[in-house]
Amino acid sequence: MNELIKKAVALLESDSVQVIIGYAEGTGTRTRAIFITRTADCENLIFDSRCVQNLAVYLTKSEIKKLGKPAIVAPIPVLRSILQLAVENQITENDLVVLGITPQSELVDFESFAAIEAFLSTHQIVIEEKYQETIREIKAMPVTERFAYWVKELEPCFKCYACRAACPLCYCTRCTVDNNQPQWISVASHPLGNLEWHIMRAMHLAGRCTDCEACYNACPMSIPIHLLTKNMLQDVTENFGTYGPSLDKLNTLSSFKPDDKESFIR
Amino acid sequence: MSKIGVFICHCGENINATVDCARVAKTAGELEGVEYSIDYKYMCSDPGQTLIKQAIKEKGLTGVVVGSCSPRMHEPTFRKACQEAGLNPFMCEMANLREHCSWVHDKNEATTQKAIDLVRTLVEKVKLNKPLYSIKVPVTKTALVIGGGIAGIQASLDIANAGHQVILVEKDPSIGGHMSQLSETFPTLDCSQCILTPRMVEVAQHPNIKLLTYAELEKLEGSIGNFKATIRKKAKSIDENLCNGCGTCTTKCPTKKIPSEFNTGLGTRTAIYVPFPQAVPNKPVIDKENCSYYQKGKCKVCEKVCPTGAIRFDQEDELVEIEVGAVVIATGFNIMQPSEFPEYGYGKYKDVITGLQFERLASASGPTLGEIRRPSDGKIPEKIVFVACAGSRDPAKGIPYCSKICCMYTAKHAMLYQHKVHHGKSYIFYMDIRAAGKNYEEFVRRAIVDDEVNYIRGRVSKIYEENGKLIVRGVDTLLNAKPVEIEADMVVLASAAIANPGAEELAQKMHVSYDSYHFFSEAHPKLKPVETNTAGIFLAGACQAPKDIPETVSQASGAASKAIILFSKDELSRDPLIAVVNRSPAPVFSTCVGCFMCASACPYQAIGEELITNRQGKVIKKVAKVNPGLCQGCGTCVAFCRSKSIDIQGYSNEQMCAEVVALLNND
Amino acid sequence: MTEFEPKIIAFVCNWCTYAGADLTGTSRIKYAQNVKIVRFPCTGRIDFMLLLKSFGEGADGIIVSGCHPNDCHYTSGNFHARRRWIMFRGLLDMLGIDVRRIQYSWVSAAEGAKWADIVNSTVNTIRELGPYTEYEKVAGYLEKEAKQ
Amino acid sequence: MQTENYLIRKPSLEKLFNNLIGSGKTIFAPKAKGKLALFDNVKAYGEITEDYIVTANSAKSVVFPRTEKLFSYHKSKEKTEITDAANSSFPEVILWGTRPCDAAAFIPLTDTFNGDYKDIIFNSRREKVLLLSFSCNKSDDYCFCTSVNSGPGNTSGSDVLFTKLPGGDYLAEVMTPKGQLLVRESIDLFEPKPEEDKDRNLAVVANRFNQKEIQAKLQNLFENPVWDDKSRACLGCGSCAYVCPVCSCFDIQDEAHGNKGTHLRCWDSCGFGLFTLHTSGHNPRETQSARWRQRILHKFLYIPNKSKIAGCVGCGRCSRSCPADINILETLTSL
């Protein structure tokens, strides 16, 4: 990614940005986020298929904001998150430079968020068939068996909240799980507390989730929580039309159509 | 520590017959935080209320639960009683033991247990109630009326006559609107201008009305009682103070062939023009698009001939900021161009015209001075075909709704034609005749019976020209769907009434909602037909949906009265059951993260932005802020807020959770 | 053994269903005692978290009810609620939480009889489904000794 | 106690397991879950995986559950009844397949719960736990046990340590009377000590730093750019603390249901912003770097100052599970 490095150097040299948020080699074969403030460090920038962490999460972290205006290395999932963060008034165009990366690993410049949206319109969110299949299998279980399946899957969850911390859209100052007036859901990590937490997390991402899988990738216990959001994404699409972050569209749950269809209200 | 009083009402035997009221009171007394509990025959009676008041004073109660009838019945009664005893009225809650319990269940243990559960639930809620106080908002007693048609005129006059200031904004050079274009009006056939122009003059002369013509709303901020409107006064290129309306300029202007908007293109006007002779104000404007000077840089004839030197070529648009307490939207409607229906040949054949064009032909002040003459050759048509629903009730190509006025004006048109051309023959193709209105059906009958207008129930499939005649092909569905063909001299299309082209943009500027047809939406289809979902903004006339003159005038008066009601007090007092955004200690200030999803969910546009700054004035964060003047307390934002940063007073998150927990845990 | 009496909580809006339930009362139409109402200003106010909480607190069934579409006192609260319910229901179903235990309905202020019918049919449904033991097991985890 | 060494043949190991299960013991052992191995309740020998360096979760939850009920209460207007969990009896638990680092972690963990206050519940649970550890024959870049007074064949903390020998049989080192008892109950499965050299069958874990030096350096490193540098990518989750076999911070929560409820001890993590947030709004550890510093100082300065041993056993779990690839070893070696 020489081009990326050159671009990063240029941005820092011209003081267009003060920090480059990108990927670098990590422990062993892993990659990690890197925050480059000096041109000399730009050569550490890499990009390849191992770079799956969603860097957009750093755009709202106060520690990173302090470093100054960022340029962010943004493959598709990051671009989607950037757009959704823009929709939710968390970032503005002047706040950052986006170093877009196409699925062919080409560097692409974006003049505006609208340009990102135009680009993403040709890269719609698609739930992979293997996940669709898993979701179908789960849904085909009898209801009590399905419940037991999830209680068991969620059992290892000890509420480290890595799923929340890694999600670019979980940027709340105070998460509702940490609210004790009232105590909405159980803080404790036990079957009910875990179930409630994951229901709440998924619901709070309804119509917002961009399917980056950061939550699942972050989970130290490899709990398939991304199936919940993927299922919701399918539900959104089925019920309210195709979904993807869009600057002029309202959030799925803060908007409605008078003729939204359902089959269960008497 | 809570000191709750529980008051269980027997409601005579209404509750006590199936619920063991004494036991409910006794059990309630054992609840934590309950200081006092008692049952009584009629809590709402004077002695009953006295019981409550005394207990509040003597026991120092901090909250009251009355277990009786529905709160929808007596909540105000008991809250008032509490207030009279010195307890904040919002510290009183009611458990519905009658409508939701004793009346719907038989007498048994489970019924009494349910009553106990309901009381316990409300006790837990009331422990978390907070004293609330009505919200006061000052009111600017000036109304902004947008649109100077009959709706805007009526609303302006009503509000002005009530003694309040009105600013009437009209986008055209003159007020009058569509009504000023009409010839006669149904069902009385009185001359439209004759009844309208005196009103126009009244507006111009009214001391409480400030008229801004050739002006449009640029921006609207603020909320009920305190809006700030920015009006763009488009450059008229005339010094209105100097112009005396002599009209010399308009007669001397060399650019004379501009199709007149007022005459729907059937007549012409000059580049400096007054739209019609009775215009108010009767002062010209220069149409820059068509003026030789503006387009080519030379001419200035008007400047030369003007006796008062009122021409101002260098005039620019002016932005005026005004403060108003209420807004009446009266922007009217538009006509769908029938050129969208090529089968009717509109635009292709000169003698196929719209209903509004026919109005101009029939008008004594129109281009033919009231004689019905064909636009093509000026001949008087011998046979004329009227096509109703030319676009209306046509989900496929036109609009799905009924334009409401066409049945009546088509009958009127045919009638006027028959009155003017006695030997002529008129035909009306129609789908259904909708003549619901006072004297309307009789009017249509008169057209059919007295004036021998031929009504044909069926639709027109094609109109084409042949040998100088317009061949109208249709079907008569009442004669076994027999095809009909009429050789007409002229065809009048009752084209659909649609929303104004700028309606959507205007609605967004004012944050009022609009329907899929871009008509402005009323706040409630039945009970709030003149209100919008934004408090303080009201609707008058056809901007809300197509309607005829009497309906428009009624609604305008309705909207005016809403504004007058608003202006009748110096400040607004509102129920404090509204949403609030939380505040927390620095450095967080509020847990709101400013995603503004609440704002997009709010049906009342009650959520705005607030910048939190530090002592140096630097913005730390942007959070949501509820405008207490606009919030109606639905709580949609509350359920929507992910971080629970917004809450609703009286139905707070803590209260609702406490209710759920109390209801489901009975030990 | 005594018959299973379902615990059912109803979340209703103030303007339509609460008033409709008042009408059930004034019309003296009888229904089962199992359902107890919590009053909300609008269905738009009804947080999915409260439904979740209800199961956690031992509800066997839940009724959520408000104004018919287009009749919302606040014009669109019920439309927002409907979207939320669609999504929430889908999620619960995915998780194996028995969606038959939540009855959503539109009951207007004039539909006293419908309210009684909703209550009775929901009570019957829940009676047939039996106590929500699977959820109780999860919720009551701490009551039985933790395995770890 | 004098260490007793035995040989246990591969098939006998399974028999030993079956004997234990047969006697009604609860056994926690590594179970495969996708790419991970997790300590979980096992009922059959076949459920156990041998393919792991360390499990993703630590074994600490058998003595320090992530949610511990301390007492339950029921209150009425007159009185509040309390049922104290300290009076209850806890189940006997066998930890099968702990690594030497896991076993070693029980030492600082037990210290923490036996400071000024001797935690009754913790100790009751601890007494009932038997640790049957297995020496490491594999290691990875994350392991640094040898730098924190442990090692791939370290016996401290274990009741019995098994070391796999070439051919699949095991050397069993019985370290405690509890371990002895276990062996006695199945003595027919154990054979005399083999002549094999234990160390040759252990994984190699290089020494990465000197713990004493680190401790000394940290005395004066409270303000240092290293904290910012190494924690910049930190997302603020609690994963490191929750997989750590030594971390023991907890939060007290009440779960109330009307008039009754439970008083709980729940895991907490210094990685969370809320961990030190005061009611006033002030947060003494305002940034993630301050929290990372706390984590390092606690383990390598505060705990060793107090109990002479580090609050870390070099298992490397925190680094492996960190979603941002923050590596504790990297921080320690760059001090």
Strand partners, A73: A99
Per-residue pLDDT at C37: 97
Q: Architecture of domain B579-649 in CATH?
A: 2-Layer Sandwich (3.30)
User: Which whole number is the average pLDDT over A47-57?
Assistant: 96
Q: Check B653 against A184: CB less than 8 A apart.
A: yes
By the CB < 8 Å criterion, does D239 face chain A?
yes
pLDDT band at C146 (very low <50, low <70, confident <90, very high): very low
User: Which whole number is the average pLDDT over D141-167?
Assistant: 94
pLDDT band at B512 (very low <50, low <70, confident <90, very high): confident
Strand duo B352-354 + B490-495: pairing: parallel
Per-residue pLDDT at A78: 97
**In the predicted model, is pLDDT for residue D175 greater than 90?**
yes
By the CB < 8 Å criterion, does A156 face chain D?
yes
C61 is a domain residue: yes
Searching chain A, which residue's CA lies closest to the CA of residue C118? A266
Q: Which of residues 129-158 of A touch B (CB under 8 A)?
A: none
Q: What is the mean pLDDT of chain A?
A: 94
Q: What is the mean pLDDT of chain C?
A: 92
Per-residue pLDDT at B123: 97
- Tell me if the domain spanning B334-498 has CATH number 3.40.50.12780: no
Strand duo B579-581 + B352-354: pairing: unpaired
Gap from D112 CA to chain A (nearest CA, Å): 21
- Tell me if the domain spanning B4-132 has CATH number 3.30.70: no
pLDDT > 70: percent of chain D: 100
Per-residue pLDDT at B363: 94
Question: For residues D334 and D171, what is the distance between their CA atoms, to the nearest angstrom?
Answer: 38
Mapped to the 3 state alphabet, what secondary structure does chain D carry? CCCEEEEECHHHHHHHHHHHHHCCCEEEEEEEECCEEEEEEECCHHHECCCCCCCCCCCHHHCCCCEEEEEEEEECCCCEEEEEHHHCCCCCEEEEEECHHHHHHHHHHHHHCECCCECHHHHHHHHCEEEEEECCCCCCCCCCHHHHCCCCCCCCCCCEEEEECCCCCEEEEECCHHHHHHHHHCHHHEEECCCCCCHHHCCCCCCCCCHHHHHHHHCCCCCCHHHHHHHCCCCCCCHHHHHCCCCCCEEEEEEEECCEEEEEEEECCCCCHHHHCCCCCCCCCCCHHHHHHHHHHHHHHHHHHHHCCCCCCCCCHHHHHCCCCCCHHHHHHCC
Q: Check A184 against B657: CB less than 8 A apart.
A: yes
Q: Tell me the CA distances in angstroms from D68 to A84, A158, D65, D87, one per residue in order.
A: 39, 13, 6, 14
Q: Check A89 against B654: CB less than 8 A apart.
A: no
Question: For residues D62 and B508, what is the distance between their CA atoms, to the nearest angstrom?
Answer: 61
Q: Exposed, middle or buried by CB within 10 Å (0-12, 13-18, 19+), for B606?
A: buried
Note the pLDDT tens digit of each residue in C112-131. Answer: 999 999 999 999 999 999 99
Q: Check A53 against D256: CB less than 8 A apart.
A: no
User: Which whole number is the average pLDDT over D30-38?
Assistant: 94
Instruction: Report phi then psi at B390, rounded to 5.
Output: -80, 70
Q: Choose, out of D78, D259, D287, the residue to mutate when testing the contact with B (most B CBs < 10 Å).
A: D259
Note the pLDDT tens digit of each residue in D42-96. Answer: 999 999 999 999 999 999 999 999 999 999 999 988 889 999 988 888 889 999 9
Amino acid present at B610: E
Count of beta carbons in the 10 Å neighbourhood of residue B361: 28
**In the predicted model, is pLDDT for residue C144 greater than 80?**
no
Residues of D in contact with C9 (CB under 8 A): none
Q: Check C30 against B104: CB less than 8 A apart.
A: yes
Residues of D in contact with A159 (CB under 8 A): 66, 238, 242, 267
pLDDT band at C70 (very low <50, low <70, confident <90, very high): confident
pLDDT band at A1 (very low <50, low <70, confident <90, very high): low
The CATH code of the domain that includes C30 is 3.40.50
Gap from A188 CA to chain D (nearest CA, Å): 6
Query: Which of D41, D69, D88 shows the shortest C-beta gap to C147?
Result: D41
pLDDT band at A249 (very low <50, low <70, confident <90, very high): confident
For chain B, the domains span: 4-132, 142-234+317-332+513-567, 248-305, 334-498, 579-649
**In the predicted model, is pLDDT for residue C145 greater than 60?**
no
Gap from C95 CA to chain A (nearest CA, Å): 6
Label residues B559-586 b or e (16+ Cβ within 10 Å = b). Answer: bbbbbbebbeeeebebebbbbbbbeeee
Neighbors of chain D with 3 or more C-beta pairs under 8 Å? A, B, C
**In the predicted model, is pLDDT for residue A242 greater than 80?**
no
| Strand intervals (E) in B540-658 | 571-574, 579-581, 607-613, 619-626, 646-648
pLDDT band at C148 (very low <50, low <70, confident <90, very high): very low
pLDDT > 90: percent of chain B: 87
User: Which whole number is the average pLDDT over B25-50?
Assistant: 96
For chain A, the domains span: 2-120, 129-251
Q: Which residue intervals of B427-510 are DSSP H helices?
A: 440-449, 503-510
C103 is a domain residue: yes
Tokens of D28: 């926690």
Please tell me the least confidently modeled range out of A234-243, B208-217, B267-276, C121-130: A234-243
By the CB < 8 Å criterion, does D41 face chain B?
no
Per-residue pLDDT at A55: 98
Residues of A in contact with B645 (CB under 8 A): 174
Asked whether the domain spanning B334-498 has the same topology as the one spanning B142-234+317-332+513-567, the reply is yes
Searching chain A, which residue's CA lies closest to the CA of residue D39? A156
Q: Which residues of C touch A (CB under 8 A)?
A: 48-49, 52-53, 56, 69-70, 76, 79-80, 82-99, 103-106, 118, 134-135, 137-139, 141-142, 146
Domain that holds residue C116: 8-139
Searching chain C, which residue's CA lies closest to the CA of residue D129? C148
Label residues B332-343 b or e (16+ Cβ within 10 Å = b). Answer: bbbbbebeebee
Note the pLDDT tens digit of each residue in B174-228. Answer: 999 999 999 999 999 999 999 999 999 999 999 999 999 999 999 998 888 989 9
Q: Check B588 against D280: CB less than 8 A apart.
A: no
Q: Exposed, middle or buried by CB within 10 Å (0-12, 13-18, 19+), for C133?
A: exposed
Total domains in chain C come to 1
Report whether D239 contacts D321 (CB < 8 A): yes
Per-residue pLDDT at B399: 93
Note the pLDDT tens digit of each residue in B374-422. Answer: 999 999 999 999 999 999 999 989 999 999 999 999 999 999 999 999 9
| Domain B142-234+317-332+513-567: assigned CATH number | 3.50.50.60
Per-residue pLDDT at C147: 40
Amino acid present at D66: R
Residues of A in contact with D57 (CB under 8 A): 156, 158, 220-221
Residues of B in contact with D81 (CB under 8 A): none
**In the predicted model, is pLDDT for residue D11 greater than 60?**
yes
Q: Check A188 against D288: CB less than 8 A apart.
A: no
Residues of B in contact with C53 (CB under 8 A): 657, 660-661
Neighbors of chain C with 3 or more C-beta pairs under 8 Å? A, B, D
Is this model's pTM higher than 0.90 or not?
no
Question: For residues A174 and A35, what is the distance between their CA atoms, to the nearest angstrom?
Answer: 25
Query: Which of A144, A188, A262 shows the shortest C-beta gap to C86?
Result: A262
**In the predicted model, is pLDDT for residue C59 greater than 50?**
yes
Per-residue pLDDT at B646: 96
Residues of D in contact with C148 (CB under 8 A): 41, 61-62, 65-66
**In the predicted model, is pLDDT for residue C1 greater than 60?**
no
**In the predicted model, is pLDDT for residue B157 greater than 60?**
yes
Query: Which of D66, D140, D325 shows the shortest C-beta gap to A32?
Result: D325
Q: Check D62 against C146: CB less than 8 A apart.
A: no
